[in-house]
Structure 1
Amino acid sequence: MILMNINFVISLVNANVRRSHINNEFSKRNIPFQFFDALQPSVLLEQYIATTLPGLKVANLSEGEKACFMSHMALWEKLANSKNNYMAIFEDDVILGKNADKLFSSYDWLEERFALNDNLIIRLETSCIAVKRVGSEVENVLERKFSLLDSEEFGMAGYILSRKAAVFLLDYFKSLDGKSIKAIDKYLFGDLIRNNNLHIYQLEPAICIQEDKLNKKKSTLISQLEYDRRRIENNNKKQENKGIIYMIYKLLTKWKRMKEKKRSEQERLNNMIKFE
């Protein structure tokens, strides 16, 4: 039997709008949860990094990304040191889908499908990009299947992990070279999907999604973290001196790029993980 509570929502202590959103999302479905006060750039965070993941100090990440990284690691430590077999971790801009109350109010379905000694991670969300996945033999739950990721996904807005997986991840990240450390989701749902020591599943259709992915231009919960990530990635790109020949080439090949863009969008729609 799984002990409660295992649903945690990472949220800044002063994020009143986001906390109100989460209270509404979970409470209207009678899903038990607890806020976990997200770490913020501070002396306290620097001390925690120094004792837990020293290499993160020199990583090419924004201070917000480092705080996000360590907030997730803090919850993994909490799980590793607890008597619970699993933990569900959400971020405070998540929107829940159909039958979320049945999935997150009781976790007996996990023990019915997976061994307690599994290094198990179940991704619950979709980032609405084209992603490759393959089928698994795990029994469906509430008309949702368990696929195995076969290409990179993004985001950490909703996932479940086992206590054994938490222990593995803590050891894994401590072994990384600091300068090569990337955003945490690029490991969990990127580099690690082919690690033989982990079983990383995708719940499909996804049962949660970030609010700005669902509402797009009408979003009320814009992600500052995503903005910071894109800014750093853009700064890392080499600026090239593009002359007149390049500009003519771009003009002459515009039709080809438009055609490719349309094809890529159709591919994304055909291969993205649906949310419901």
Structure 2
Amino acid sequence: MRIFVISLPDATERRERVKRIFSETNYQFTFFDAVNGREGLPERLERRVNDTYRKVFRSRPLSPGEKGCFASHLLLWEKCLELDEPIVLLEDDFLPTESFENAFSQLPLLIKDLEYLRLEKRTSKWFPINSVGGFERRFLFDNSCGTTGYVLTPQGAQKLLQHSEEWLCAVDNYISESFRHGMYSFNISPPAIEAPHDMGSLIQCEEKTRVPLYFKLTRELNRFYRFVRMTVSNRQFINKLQNRVSD
């Protein structure tokens, strides 16, 4: 399975660290040059950003770093579709856990019958699916807060791409909001990687622009709307999973 590490071309220290990590394994990887949002996006992607929606319903527009992060992941979704095979996407701030090599050796089995598999820990509510090769696969009710590493299939990439013509939120929130695209999120325990709190993505590190407080009401209403949509979507999917097991 191909492994792509998203990294800014001039992030020399991070790239050297990633090289050292993989030099101690049997896995090959490829650096994927991240889009630097501070330098602008490709024209075909720039027009997808809906900052008006962001200001009214999410308190602030997407920062240049968040735009660059979304663009970088989207370009790899396109790559996944082009290759027509599952791929691993890692951001250059990932750290391997003790389960790193074992998990990577079993990724073809772990992603089987799924479309997306998060490789880092998520402490939100989850639902156990089954165990594969010593790893528990879990359905995630909330997959926001991070895109440090995941496995994506062409089927999952297709869903993400079909519904990303308009960018209404950061890429991690978009991936999490299954009601928008119909792709559901899973992870494994123990996790294969972790994201250190003191080493955020260079693509996103910056101060974020704020908008007037009178948009707080619309933000909270939108938050409640998304909560209801996610709750309904998750409940329907869990029912399908339970029916599948009972059959």
- State the TM-score, normalizing by the size of structure 2: 0.73
Aligned to 2:186: 201
Look up the match of 2:24: 28
Provide the residue aligned with 1:66 in structure 2.
67
Helix, strand or coil at the partner of 1:90: strand
* SS, match of residue 213 in structure 2: coil
**Secondary structure in 2 aligned to 1:228?**
coil
Give yes or no for contact 2:62–2:169 (8 Å, CA) kept in 1: yes
- SS for the counterpart of 1:199 is coil
Matched residues in 2 for 1:186 and 1:132: separation? 16
Query: Match for residue 38 of structure 1?
Result: 34
SS in 2 for 1:21: helix
After superposition, the Cα gap between the structure-2 partners of 1:139 and 1:37, relative to the gap in structure 1 and judged at 3 Å, is same
Distance 1:25 1:100 in 2: 10
Q: Indicate if the aligned counterparts of 1:18 and 1:92 stay in contact, CA closer than 8 A.
A: yes
SS of the aligned residue for 2:156 comes to: helix
Task: Report the 3-state secondary structure (helix = DSSP H, G, I; strand = E; otherwise coil) of the residue aligned with 1:23.
Answer: helix
State the partner residue of 1:140. Answer: 132
RMSD: 2.6
Rg bigger for which structure? Answer: 1
Q: Give 1:200 deviation, angstroms.
A: 1.6
Q: Is the 8 A contact 1:49 1:57 kept in 2?
A: no
Counterpart of 1:35 in 2: which secondary structure?
A: strand
Alignment partner of 1:101 is 2:98: no
Q: State the match for 1:82 in structure 2.
A: 83
- Give the Å deviation of 1:147: 0.7
Cα separation, 1, equivalents of 2:173 and 2:201: 17
Q: Which residue of structure 2 aligns with residue 17 of structure 1?
A: 13
- Residue 151 of structure 2 aligns with an amino acid whose one-letter code is I
* CA spacing shift, 1:49–1:108, aligned 2, 3 Å: closer
CA positional deviation for 1:155: 0.3
Instruction: Report the Cα offset of residue 28 of structure 1.
Output: 1.1
Equivalent position of 2:174 in the other structure = 187
The alpha-carbon distance between structure 1 residues 159 and 152, as it changes in their structure 2 partners (threshold 3 A), is closer
Identity in percent: 26
Q: How far apart are the structure 1 equivalents of 2:181 and 2:74?
A: 21
Displacement of 1:237 after TM fit? Answer: 6.9
**How many Å apart are 1:222 and its aligned residue?**
4.4
**What's the offset of the Cα at 1:77?**
0.3
Contact 1:96 1:209 in 2 (8 A): yes
Which structure 2 segments of 5+ residues have no match?
A: 55-60, 215-247
